[in-house]
Every structure is written in structure tokens, then in C-alpha cells.
Amino acid sequence: MSETEIQTETLRYSVDIPAQALAYKIGSLRMIELRRRVERELGTNFDIRQFHEWVLARGSMPLPVLEAHVMRETHRFEATRPASKSGSTAPSTGASTSASE
């Protein structure tokens, strides 16, 4: 990083928007937990593409509202799908369930 970039980032994180990094981290952790919760509930019926659709389709919203929306969609989806095999939490897409996604 250049000296100018270092100064700009230092100013941004310390004065301009001091809680920005914390807000990003909290949001990231809540999204990871929401995904894991939906994976547990849907088991082998979990589809990462469907999860992303539920998260993104309605646009920006506060995290508690988003969580309630995704859980409503999860329960609606569950009601229309055959029961999954108990104990399995692997996604049906074969995609990794790593928290780094």
C-alpha cells in the first residue's frame, strides 16, 4: 500500500466511520450463522442458489428482518418438499459448506 492509501484507510477506520469494520464483521457472522441454520433445517434439500435467492431477491433490509424472511421462506420451502434424511446436512448442490463462501 502507498503512504496515501494507508493514511486514507487509517482516517476512514478511525474518524470517518469508526464502526464500519465492526458492522461488516457482525453482518458476516450473522449471515454465516443464518446459512448454517437453514442448512440444518433443510438437510439434503439445502440449495445454496435458493438460499442466495432468498437473501438477495427482496433487496436491502435490516438483519433481523432478513433473518425472519429467510426463515419464512425456509419453512415454506420445507412444506413443499419431501422430508430429507435425518442427520444429513450436506447441500444438495454438492457445493462446499465452508464459512469462507
Identify the pLDDT of residue 20: 86
Cell of 73: 421462506
In order, the DSSP letters of 19-70 are THHHHHHHHHHHHHHHHHHHHHHHGGG--HHHHHHHHHTT----HHHHHHHH
Each residue of 37-96: pLDDT tens digit? 999 999 999 999 999 999 999 999 999 999 999 999 999 999 987 665 544 444 444 444
Q: Is 75 exposed, middle or buried (0-12, 13-18, 19+ CB in 10 A)?
A: exposed
pTM confidence score: 0.68
Each residue of 14-24: pLDDT tens digit? 888 888 889 99
Identify the pLDDT of residue 7: 92
Identify the pLDDT of residue 14: 84
**Inter-CA distances, 72 with 37, 58, 68, 79, Å:** 13, 13, 6, 11
Domain ranges of the chain: 3-80
